[in-house]
Amino acid sequence: MSDLLYSEEEDALRAAVRDLLTDHCDAPGVIARTESDSPHHLALWKALTEGMGLAGLLVPEELDGQGATHREAAVVLEELGRAVAPVPYLTSAVVATEALLACGTDDLLRDLAAGTTIGALAVALNVAPGAAYRVVRQEDGLLHGELTGIADAAVADVLLVPADDGGLYAVDAGAATVTPQTSLDLTRPLATVTLDGAPGRLLGDAEPAVRRALRAGAGLLASEQFGLAEWTLTETVRYLKERKQFNRPVGGFQSIKHRLAQLWLEVVNTRAAARNAADALSNGEDVDVAVTVAQAYAAPVAVHAAEEAVQLHGGIGMTWEHPAHLYLKRAKADSIAYGTPGAHREALAALVDLQSP
């Protein structure tokens, strides 16, 4: 049975990340940044990576990484989720890193582990592990084509691009045209990647690398979703103890209490599912079931928590000024990222022999 708790080291890691985010990633700052030319918070990224070495958690020590596991990366993602932090951690330090680990690309792994280079897997954010994805055309070592829905590509230094010959290619971002797309989630923006004869360096077979990368992304996304849900629940409870209508705290009305208690149950369940997925990814046991269960469960809970936050905050929850919308947009986008709950349930059906009609 997996270890579903947090170790003392993991608790210490959480505390350090939370301190950093408290000081450098407050909600008004995130909201202001979403409408600037640079929605990503690269100073925070630098502190997380060059300062704390967190981009290298999944990279072995001999490649200058931390040689840690998915359990620690999951703790980082819980905290980043709590803050809806606009940093490319999931996309670069987890998904792109996993793709490079699958290909054994040591030099790029060193660069990504250091955080000085940001990587992005050029597969649309909505693609589930094992599902079909778009590829570009490879001709004489040069790549041609357009890929949409690439998360965090705007800040990527290197793009990992699948091509029609079955290969995964590293493309320098300077050789591609990256055009931001107006995205539902303002804190994990998407972009279009256009390649017009860009030189690519063959890393290895795309299919296994993409599958592994997306599986890790889906599994650890559950921890981000847990962080999002936990923050929205905690903040909503806090607000409803203070907010008074009809001469009573709004949180004292039974209809509200029951909704929040129900949400708490879902959040508690999400933590167990997310820890199970992180533990399975780190020890390689029962990974597919753990990841599909976690993603099928966590995605709707994060959306539910954010929707409840907007509703139960009343009018203020509907404003641009209040951060609830950041969580709603992230949670809704997360519920599509790396496969919808329905896609994960369908995958699960085959894994546990509950076949469709």
Q: Is residue 243 involved in binding other proteins (CB under 8 A)?
A: no
CB of 79 to other proteins, least distance (A): 19
From residue 276 to residue 315, the character string flagging contacts with other proteins as x (rule: CB under 8 A) and all else as - is: x----------------x--xx------------------
Q: Between the CA atoms of 223, 231, 186 and 310, what dihedral angle is there, to the nearest 10 degrees? A: 130
Q: Is residue 340 involved in binding other proteins (CB under 8 A)?
A: no
Is residue 189 within 8 A of residue 181, CB to CB? The reply is yes
Q: How far apart are CA 27 and CA 141, in angstroms?
A: 45
CB nearer to other proteins: give 53 or 253.
253
CB of 280 to other proteins, least distance (A): 11
Q: DSSP 3-state assignment of 340?
A: coil
Is residue 290 within 8 A of residue 219, CB to CB? The reply is yes
Q: Is residue 350 involved in binding other proteins (CB under 8 A)?
A: no
Q: Is residue 272 involved in binding other proteins (CB under 8 A)?
A: yes
CB of 351 to other proteins, least distance (A): 11
E-only strand ranges, 18-165: 119-121, 137-139, 142-151, 158-162
Provide long-range contacts, Cβ within 8 A and 24+ apart, for 204-207.
204/102, 204/103, 204/104, 204/105, 204/167, 204/168, 205/103, 205/166, 205/167, 205/168, 206/135, 206/162, 206/163, 206/166, 206/167, 206/168, 207/166
Which of 33, 275, 313, 329 is the binder for other proteins (CB under 8 A)? 275
Query: For residues 248-267, which are near other proteins according to CB under 8 A?
Result: 248-249, 251-252, 254, 256-258, 260-262, 264-265
Which of 271, 304, 325, 330 is the binder for other proteins (CB under 8 A)? 271
Q: How many positions of this chain bind other proteins (CB under 8 A)?
A: 42
Residue for token pair 């020890």: 283
Q: Is residue 12 involved in binding other proteins (CB under 8 A)?
A: no
CB of 293 to other proteins, least distance (A): 5
Beta-bridge partners for 121: 160
Provide the binding-site residues for other proteins, judged by CB under 8 A. 1, 3-5, 237, 240-241, 248-249, 251-252, 254, 256-258, 260-262, 264-265, 268-273, 275-276, 293, 296-297, 342, 345-346, 348-349, 352-357
